[in-house]
Amino acid sequence: MTHYRTINIDGLSVFYREAGDPANPTLLLLHGFPASSFMFRDLIVKLSADFHVVAPDYPGFGHSDAPHPDEFAYTFDHLADVIAAFTDKLGLDKYALYMQDFGGPVGFRLAHWRPERISFLVVQNANAYDEGLPDSFWAPVRALWQDPSTANREMIRQAGMSDEALQWNYTHGTADPTLISPDSWVLQQALLARPGNKDAMLDLLYDYRTNPGLYPQWQQYFRDHQPPTLIVWGKHDVIFPEAGAHPFRRDLDNVDFNLLDTGHFALEDHSDTIAAHIRRFARTVADGHRSAE
């Protein structure tokens, strides 16, 4: 069964979902934008017999505290600091990382900072290469990076965080949109309606400009430490398209590469497939460690 817990990290209440036996290998699930650990609700159930599964909400997301941007710096460095402290407080000394969307810049920071803690990576529509940021989607965000004026912020607020845009995030690229539960985007609508929350998300979208500059460091981490990596990528995603999935194979020797017939939030209609890939891949990683010994 899934447990719903909170823990105090630097004065903030951080909410997380936890399931499975802590004696089993730990899988840390890092969610995307503008989602929360809710996106992992089905995957947690499917993997709880094999893993100790932990899925936190970042500050400003889900059921964690959402301080006003005047009181909390919404940057990826800061989110990664909070999640690093979260893993320390829970005693997670070794874990696999599942990263989707914003989970990438949080998780790749963790992996780069603490490579000895990473058992393997699961990358699902989470970018670490320039090829994965096409102008066809990212041009308005790049405009914000160049000019964080009120006009550019308001344009993204209206176009990127409207009710219609939130629904589109979940349904675009899917073969059958009727399989996608509206609960996800209705929850996001409610959470974004909190005072100051859209401004917090805009601050993070502006700070996303810091991530491409770190790509060379993350790629060097891949080359130096060669974490076994499972790619499960929704190939019809237009936010982080398939073009961003292939370059991982340039730097990593052990890549299990899988393109899925879906969009950005692949777990909404492919949780069974992804869970099966994770169980299979974890067995191959464990077998490889035993052979090396």
Q: How far is 264 from 236, CA to CA, in rounded Å?
A: 7
* CB contact at 8 A, 262 and 234: yes
Helix, strand, coil proportions of the chain in percent (round to 5)?
Answer: 50, 15, 30
Asked about 264 being catalytic, the answer comes back as yes
Residue 66 to residues 24, 76, 183, 195, 201, Cα–Cα distance (Å): 32, 15, 21, 9, 11
Among 31, 81, 4, which residue's Cα sits nearest to residue 188?
A: 31
Q: How far is 44 from 51, CA to CA, in rounded Å?
A: 9
Q: Which amino acid belongs to residue 93?
A: D
User: 108-129 burial, b for 16+ CB within 10 Å, e for fewer?
Assistant: bbbbbeeeebbbbbbbbbbbbb
Residue 191 to residues 14, 71, 241, Cα–Cα distance (Å): 15, 18, 26
* CB contact at 8 A, 44 and 270: no
Q: How far is 256 from 125, CA to CA, in rounded Å?
A: 14
Residues 6+ apart with CB under 8 A from 157: 198, 202
Q: 255-260 and 52-56: which strand pairing?
A: unpaired
Residues 6+ apart with CB under 8 A from 192: 34, 161, 166, 198, 201
Which residue in the list 31, 52, 236, 264 is annotated as catalytic?
A: 264
Catalytically annotated residues: 264
